[in-house]
Amino acid sequence: MKIAVYSICKNDSKFVLNWYNSMKEADSIYVLDTGSTDGTYDELKKLGVNVKTVIISPFRYDTARNLALEMLPDDVDLCVATNLDEVFNKGWRNELENNYHGENRIIYNYSFHNHKDIKAYSSKIHTRHNYTWIYPIHETLKSQNKLETKTIINSITLTKYSDTIDKNYLSLLELAVLENKNDYKNRFYLGYYYLNNKKEQEAIDIFLNYLTFKNTSAYEKSLSMRFIGRSYFKLKRYNEALMWYKKAINKAPLIKNHYIEIAFLYYKLENYKKVYLYLQEALKITRTSELDFFLYDLMSLACYYLKLLPQSLIYIDKCLEIEPNNKRIKNNKILIEKILNNLK
């Protein structure tokens, strides 16, 4: 079996060596450099990587990846698309060979070095022919195979080491949405970008449009509903925010963060009974969340205002299990312990 890794890069010299050491399990490595000025090209060349430079203007990720794919020989069996800030687990090539049975595409684990609680899948290992990259950003593989076959290999994990965002991210994302009226995924990304960059009304409009797509899952729809709620929250339109948070919960009642966000809105409204009730529902969902510290913190405060001081202390201790050196939480614990001692 011939396995080739291919990638695109620009000014990624700090990642070159670790990336190469991970990818060298392949038979060959190809990189399209789109205009590095930091020595990335020379470093790759020294390591024996097949590298060439092409300036793409205006730049698009799909164009770059298609040009990189064209660098690969026709007789390659499997093509492995990665970025230079990504690293496979050691032995990935043997796992690929031992678990591959002629499928067109391989699905494997994807993780984030700086966000270890986030787990995902990726599927950028594919056969040499009948694949094209599409979309100017958040590019994805489009198959021309009449019947595309896939398999999951859970013993392969690719880990991402960088959180950098392209300076042209927004313009490329807006272009992706404009070019592809039936693409719902980039609409979701665009809405999320607007939400996090003080464009709440634009976020609401995009997410409302996203909800019209029938082929999205209940989970994805519920996230959009929650983000609409968050947008209204930021606009201080609290009744509309509550309506959309409740829609999100009804659509996907097992998502813990839905309950935490609506509880936070009720906390801002000083409705501590509602905070307590919604967080009680969140606590029934045992799956861990990146918001667990916030959940316990919010619950301790709600219990404090509801004069449930022993319970407040329990949730403060849970906070300290996660962040043992948090000074505010430590001070809250001292305060409540003093109150409880005075009540004895």
- CA torsion sign for 98, 101, 102, 104 is negative
User: Cα(142)–Cα(45) distance, rounded to whole angstroms?
Assistant: 30
pLDDT of residue 117: 67
In this structure, what token pair is assigned to residue 188? 């979701």
Strands 105-112 and 115-127: antiparallel
Instruction: Report CA-CA distances (Å) from 2 to 30, 93, 157.
Output: 14, 11, 20
What domains are there in the chain, each with its CATH number? 3-160 (3.90.550.10), 169-343 (1.25.40.10)
Tell me, what's the pLDDT at 289? 86
Global pTM reads 0.83
Q: What is the pLDDT along the chain (344 residues), one digit of tens a residue?
A: 999 999 999 999 999 999 999 999 999 999 999 999 999 999 999 999 999 999 999 999 999 999 999 999 999 999 999 999 999 999 999 999 999 999 999 999 999 987 766 779 999 999 999 999 999 999 999 999 989 999 999 999 999 998 788 889 999 999 999 999 889 999 999 999 999 999 999 999 999 999 999 989 999 999 999 999 999 999 999 999 999 999 999 999 999 999 999 999 999 999 999 999 999 999 999 988 889 999 999 999 999 999 999 999 999 999 999 999 999 999 999 999 999 998 87
Beta strand pairing call for 3-9 and 78-81: parallel
Residue type, 30: Y
